[in-house]
Amino acid sequence: MANPYRILTLNKISAQGLKRFPAESYQVASDVDLPDAILVRSQVMHDMEIPASVKAIARAGAGTNNVPVAKMSARGIPVFNAAGANANAVKELVIAGMLLSARNIVPALQFVAGLAGDDATVHKLVEDGKKHFAGIELRGRTLGVIGLGAIGRQVADTALALGMRVQGYDPEITVEGAWSLSSQVKKAQSIEELLRHSDFVTLHVPLLDATRGLIDASRVKAMKSGSVLLNFSRDAIVDSDAVLAGLHEKHLRGYVCDFPSQTLQGQAGVVTLPHLGASTEEAEENCAVMVVDQVRDYLEHGNIANTVNFPTLIMPRESAHRLAVANANVPNMLGQISSALAGAGINIHTMMNKSRGEMAYTLVDTDSPVPPQLIAQIEAIQGVLMVRCLPLSE
């Protein structure tokens, strides 16, 4: 291909995913100039100069708080993610986190690592010392799940299978999410109600303005005495100082999280893991495969699935000539686009338009090629953010 698509990778992306970019039509590297798309995991992109050539950004994971989503929306650039592709990996680590805290496994391992002497001495030290690490069981305890998306629902299901009671809170649960949620999950009316009744509380919400500091000092106080908080979402969702105060006052039993910090380092009752939630072979591969397929379908055909800022829009190809237009969701945009096409004598074969919040997206298949001057004319319509011409390659 004369002009291969150029893909910039900002983190290590699973080779199983990257190999789905055909070598003859894609150039993929961590140092390509003028990329058409950027694939990223956790690298923070907020201060990065994102070249004008970029048409898509894809997060090979769930959270997109490291991507300047609002700025990309203003440029008509979709931000894809790998919805649900790492949920099982996170769920398994959350269950491990509950067990680590319930059974005092981390201090118990530290105790064993410090044992010295012959076997008889060690045996005596073990039998004398083990009372300090006696724990609790999960069965019969109540787990509160805040955020019932891909991860929260899986955690809820597994906790039920372990014999726990489960209550959940998610005022924005999707219809699909509600359908797939076990009827045994009790609906909490508020976060405070959930905190009051839960022995374990696990957070599975995205980091947004509305969720920053979601667990603050007053909510730590609202938690049941002796309970454990688990945070595998993002560090800024929890006020670490408030949690430490709760631990020092013995109001909380433990805090298990995936985000180490100076504040949490070495504190009793705290277990921190090095952002390991999605770090399994399976999850890394699932995420990479999902976003590579999504980016290819978008670059080649303009189809959009799983973004955080665009509507989902998939239109089967019915013509070799396709136009993709991202525009502000305001009146008369479709009218102006179709008038421009009609004015140039171009017949519309099929057309689909969808909106999501302030963003609208249109795919138009035409019966003849759209000349460059007409694309420039559509680009000049006020409110149009991005226009792409997507001829079907031979």
Ligand X SMILES: O=C(O)CC[C@@H](O)C(=O)O
Ligand Y SMILES: NC(=O)c1ccc[n+]([C@@H]2O[C@H](COP(=O)([O-])OP(=O)(O)OC[C@H]3O[C@@H](n4cnc5c(N)ncnc54)[C@H](O)[C@@H]3O)[C@@H](O)[C@H]2O)c1
Partner touching 147 among ligand X, ligand Y, none, CB below 5 to 8 Å by kind? ligand Y
3-state SS, residue 97:
helix
For residue 38, give the amino acid letter: I
Question: Could you count the other beta carbons within 10 Å of the beta carbon of residue 110?
Answer: 10
Q: How many residues lie near ligand Y (CB under 6 A)?
A: 32
> Is 150 an interacting residue with respect to ligand Y (CB under 6 A)?
yes
Which strands sit side by side in the sheet containing 227-231, from one edge to the other?
Answer: 186-187, 165-169, 142-146, 200-203, 227-231, 252-257, 270-272
Site for ligand Y in 167-186 (CB under 6 A): 169-170, 172-173, 177
Site for ligand Y in 275-334 (CB under 6 A): 275, 277-278
Q: Which residue in 19, 36, 92, 31 sits closest to 288, CA to CA?
A: 19
Question: Applying CB under 6 A, which of residues 142, 233, 294, 362 lies at the interface with ligand Y?
Answer: 233
Nearer to ligand Y, 28 or 150 (CB): 150
Q: Tokens 């999410």 correspond to what residue?
A: 177
The binding site for ligand X (CB under 6 A) comprises 41-42, 61-63, 86, 277-279
Partner touching 165 among ligand X, ligand Y, none, CB below 5 to 8 Å by kind? none
Q: Which residue in 383, 373, 379, 367 sits closest to 322, CA to CA?
A: 367
Nearer to ligand X, 93 or 346 (CB): 93
- Is residue 235 within 8 A of residue 257, CB to CB? The reply is yes
Least distance (Å) between residue 379 CB and ligand Y: 33
Question: Applying CB under 6 A, which of residues 18, 38, 40, 146 lies at the interface with ligand Y?
Answer: 146
- Is residue 34 within 8 A of residue 53, CB to CB? The reply is yes
Return the DSSP state at 302.
Answer: -
Residue nearest to ligand Y (CB): 149
How many residues appear in the chain?
394
CA distance linking residue 187 with residue 184, whole number of Å? 9
Please, which residues have CB within 8 angstroms of residue 33's CB and are 6 or more apart in sequence?
6, 51
Nearer to ligand X, 86 or 366 (CB): 86
Site for ligand Y in 51-70 (CB under 6 A): 61-63
> Is 213 an interacting residue with respect to ligand Y (CB under 6 A)?
no
Site for ligand Y in 71-90 (CB under 6 A): 84, 86-87, 90
Which residues here bind ligand Y, judged by CB under 6 A? 61-63, 84, 86-87, 90, 146-152, 169-170, 172-173, 177, 204-207, 210-211, 232-234, 258, 275, 277-278
